[in-house]
A and B are shown apart, each in its own frame.
Chain A
């Protein structure tokens, strides 16, 4: 299995630009998570989907952030407009069952100048 795939691995953009991060979960997994990791705030759960439906988006910081999961094999996290404080590593993870461990992607390192 290829594991969780994230793209791009690195993204550098300027403040005000739109950023779209992509994630392909492990085939057959039915829950997907988006996390943000910074030195100051640690690992934060932004949103998670179960069977493509958002279950908990209470971690999404503000309206500039949005996430979609149009099908079982693809999800996006969009930031519009981006700000320097959004600079972080964004991880995507997936699980087969609610009781299972999470399989993490390699992360996307986002830098907003």
Chain B
């Protein structure tokens, strides 16, 4: 069975703090893809990053970074020096063989 767990329902931080959003997945597929999406208060879902199961290199994009570890089946997302505009719900997602699974999301509140 495929599953994505985002154990953190809601996180509040003060602006400029670093924050890590956790994502743990389960799959039997050997080839799969992991994604992060952002849903700001306006409601649209925006793609942030994709990783395939054979690429464990961490990635950094500006203040965003992602840590993929197959050994722990985790794909965590870190925001450095958070800003109020980062306030949103963040979803981790897994796609495998004809399966597309989303986690329940983590609501991040960045306080000024």
Say yes or no: B105 contacts A99, CB within 8 Å: no
Say yes or no: B102 contacts A99, CB within 8 Å: no
Knowing A104-B44, A106-B43, A106-B44 touch, does A56 contact B50 (C-beta < 8 A)?
no
Q: How far is the CA of A42 from the CA of B91 in the complex (A)?
A: 10
Chain B residues close to A by CB (< 8 Å): 33, 35, 37, 43-47, 50, 52, 91, 95, 98-105
Of A89, A101, A107, most B-chain CB atoms within 10 Å: A101
Q: How far is the CA of A43 from the CA of B45 in the complex (A)?
A: 11
Work out how many contacts link A and B, with CB atoms closer than 8 A: 45
Q: How many residues of A contact B (CB 8 A)?
A: 20
Which residue of chain B lies nearest to A91 when distances are taken between CB atoms in the complex?
A: B45
Say yes or no: A101 contacts B50, CB within 8 Å: yes
Q: How far is the CA of A42 from the CA of B101 in the complex (A)?
A: 12
Some 10 contacts from A to B, beta carbons below 8 A apart, are: A42-B102, A45-B101, A55-B98, A99-B95, A100-B50, A101-B47, A102-B35, A102-B100, A106-B43, A106-B44
